[in-house]
Amino acid sequence: MKVIISHDVDHITAWEHGRDLILPKHIVRNCIEFGLKYISGREMARRFADIARNRWHNMEEMMGFDREMGIPSTFFFAVSNGMGLSYSLEDAKFWMNRAMDEGFDIGVHGIEFESPHGITVEFNTFARLTNITGFGIRMHYLRRNDGTLRNLAKAGYRFDSSIAELAPPFRVDSLWEFPLHIMDGNILCRNSRWQDRSLEQAKDSTKAIFDASFDRGIEYFTILLHDRYFTDSFRTWKNWYIWVTEFVKANGIGFTSYNEAIRQLERDVPPAINRKTVY
């Protein structure tokens, strides 16, 4: 088994949310998590300080940790606004270039999932901003319909990682789908919209998913941590991610990237293979 790690960039600044409800919802969430004793008073204070200093990303810290651990992670950036994604193309381009300069792969954090034209516009916008080819996508909130994957393939995407399913990679036309096996929110907010799991509970859930994946013979295992949570403002989330990376290494499991996995898959698997189910 090889592990593929990625990071969705949902926010860059706090004040970019001046026209939506993200900040009020964030404040309510903080109060609930503090009241339920899943976060400390210090964490809560740090979260409010993050708003005051207008910094809602941790990409520098995320890249530094992944580089130190030898993790070839992929960062997904939005090039459209909607569903709580509000940062500008200018800010996106700055951090895309920063990630590439640090040696990381980047892809699209997609908004359009229904309109073939909208999907193509996002693809072309990202290609124009980055001057790269062979990139992939993850849909914001993992949204899709029956035609999404084929429309992504037609637009030119190399891969997608938006289907939350304990399954191996599969092809839909020219597109490789890498199902998403572990997402931070599903581990730490298992039955609610806010954190309702301790670190030890999160570890136990993670181990169970790994065990099930080994039983199913899954060779490429995908994990998502939003860079927003790699901070002491979300201490349990950060500690969980650090533990996951140490768990992977301690069990002799290597890290790889989507693009490297595709190169290996295309060497090993006949190109005609397609998943029968249409998404």
Is position 123 within any domain?
A: yes
When divided into structural domains, the chain yields a total of 1
Is the per-residue pLDDT at 15 higher than 80?
yes
Is position 245 within any domain?
A: yes
Helix (H, G, I), strand (E, B) or coil at 68: helix
Is position 276 within any domain?
A: no
Is position 273 within any domain?
A: no
Is the per-residue pLDDT at 156 higher than 60?
yes
DSSP state of 251: T
Is position 97 within any domain?
A: yes
Is position 33 within any domain?
A: no
Residue 84: exposure state from Cβ atoms within 10 A (0-12, 13-18, ≥19): middle
| Structural domain span for residue 109 | 2-21+57-268
Is position 32 within any domain?
A: no
CB contact at 8 A, 139 and 145 = no
Residue corresponding to tokens 């926010």: 11
Closest CA to 95 of 112, 109, 111: 109
- State pLDDT tens for residues 91-126: 999 999 999 999 999 999 999 999 999 999 999 999
Straight-line distance from the first to the last Cα atom of the chain, in angstroms, rounded to the nearest whole number: 26
CATH of the domain at 104: 3.20.20.370
Average model confidence (pLDDT) across the chain = 95
Is the per-residue pLDDT at 10 higher than 60?
yes
Region of poorest pLDDT, from 34-38, 182-186, 249-253, 266-270: 266-270
